[in-house]
Structure formats: C-alpha cells, structure tokens
Amino acid sequence: MDELLEILRDIQPDVDYEHCVTLIDDGHIDSFALISLITSINRVFDAEITAEDIVPENFNSARAIMDLIQRLSAE
C-alpha cells in the first residue's frame, strides 16, 4: 500500500488518500492523472489494467485501487 500511496502523492499531492473514497467522483484524479496512475501501476506492480477495469469503483479510493492490483496480480 505504501508504494501505491507514494505513486498517488506524486500524481496529486494535495489529497488525503488514506481517507478519501471519492477520488474519481470528486475529480481529485482526472483523466490525465488516471493514465499516469495506470502506467505507474503497470510498471511498479506488474499488473495489467484493462479497459474493463477502468471504472470509478476501482479508482475512487486507495483501498479500491489496491484491491484491484491484488486481484490482477492473482490472475
């Protein structure tokens, strides 16, 4: 989780990622930031995020993103 939080803070440092559950819904992560996030996740976690995975539910919180990474890593 620490690696993910570091990635998120590099992309958008002014967000409380440990408590926010509306990252996409409230625009904390916009489309450009999402592309950067996905690229970093693919590189750091070796988890390939597909178009089907790119839904707000998977990216609205750090916990949801980490759950997605764990699911993809298990496949």
pLDDT (tens place) for every residue of the chain, 75 residues total: 999 999 999 999 999 999 999 999 999 999 999 999 999 999 999 999 999 999 999 999 999 999 999 999 887
Q: How far apart are CA 42 and CA 54, in angstroms?
A: 13
pTM recorded for the entire structure:
0.93
CATH number of 2-74: 1.10.1200.10
pLDDT of amino acid 28: 94
Q: How far apart are CA 74 and CA 10, in angstroms?
A: 26
Among 35, 46, 41, residue whose Cα is nearest residue 62? 41
